[in-house]
Amino acid sequence: SSQFLGSTEVEQPKGTEVVRDAVRKLKFARHIKKSEGQKTPKVELQISIYGVKILDPKTKEVQHNCQLHRISFCADDKTDKRIFTFICKDSESNKHLCYVFDSEKCAEEITLTIGQAFDLAYRKFLESGGKDVETRKQIAGLQKRIQELETENAELKNKVQDLENQLRRTQVHASPAGSVTPKSPSTDIFDMVPFSPISPQSSTPTRNGTQPPPVPSRSTEIKRDLFGAEPFDPFSCGAGDFPPDIQSKLDEMQEGFKMGLTLEGTVFCLDPLDSRC
């Protein structure tokens, strides 16, 4: 068994000066604790090709498990034969920690034992074609990744289901059963309803013959064309709207239209809304 002085973070993964500073720091901390009446805890070291485990000597509970491939430096103190140290990279914080022990046995023997563990682990690594340690690391990494993907997949499925439910509710709310959405008229590129030559108020189609169609009664409401202007109507033009010579021609045209002016059997109709005349 050994006394565990503790661990402290170091800036470098190796080096005698690095561990010497760590030993000095932890020895000072132990001296302070002893002056306060605290005892240095005893631990048991279990060294194998997989790493160094720090156990409680009575309960055998694992307090620290330092994997061998994370140990970057191991040394015993030449000035104090009881002090033994190693530097290990922490798996969670990725910090380099220096572990310091005060061994009842010769610290040099512990250093040699860890060196043998490294040697055996390296031989096994070569015998397995370099796959043993890497394969275990890859399998552990893949298992963790699979778990993350499964969790992410479950969350995405829930989101998709929520979106489908919202879409259904929106569709039902927008189009209740039995209702018919009125179809809005299509518009052209200027957002205007396209002109239709057939008016819903068109009169009965005129047949070719001698009888002209009756002149439709004009509404008192002023109609406007597509652009908001009043359409031209020769009957509603005042006398002062045109010069005298043009006005006389219009008067003649009016008389001709009233008499049912025909040309080659085709009757001219004055209804501007009826395109079939």
In terms of Cα–Cα distance, which of 84, 88, 65 is closest to 13?
88
Phi, psi (5° rounding) for residue 255?
A: -65, -40
- In the chain, domain spans: 2-128, 130-167
Task: Please give the Cα distance from 111 to 85 (Å, whole number).
Answer: 8
> In the CATH hierarchy, which top-level class contains the domain 2-128?
mainly beta
Stated length of the chain: 277
CB 50 within 8 A of CB 65: no
223 Cβ contact partners less than 8 Å away, ≥ 6 residues apart: 230, 231
pLDDT of the residue at 241: 52
Residue found under tokens 């002062």: 240
pLDDT value at residue 265: 47
pLDDT at position 51 is: 92
pLDDT tens profile 201-226: 544 454 555 555 555 555 455 566 66
What is the tally of helices (H) and strands (E) in the chain? 4, 9
Encode the chain (277 residues) as per-residue pLDDT tens digits.
Answer: 789 999 999 999 999 999 999 999 999 999 999 999 999 999 999 999 999 999 999 999 999 999 999 999 999 888 888 999 999 999 889 999 999 999 877 788 888 899 899 989 888 888 877 666 667 677 777 878 888 888 888 889 899 999 999 898 888 776 655 555 555 556 666 666 666 655 455 444 545 555 555 555 554 555 666 666 666 655 555 555 555 566 676 676 666 666 655 544 444 455 555 545 4
Q: CB-based contacts of 100: which residues, under 8 Å, 6+ apart?
A: 4, 5, 6, 7, 8, 19, 22, 23, 26, 27, 83, 84, 85
**How high is the pLDDT of residue 277?**
46
| Unique residue bearing structure tokens 């501007």 | 272
Instruction: Specify whether the CB–CB gap between 275 and 197 falls below 8 A.
Output: yes
C-alpha triplet 159, 165, 170: angle, nearest 5°: 125
Cβ atoms of 8 and 90 within 8 Å: the answer is no
Q: What per-residue confidence (pLDDT) applies to 9? A: 96
Give the 3-state secondary structure of residue 12.
coil
pLDDT tens sequence across 62-105 = 999 999 999 999 998 888 889 999 999 998 899 999 999 998 77
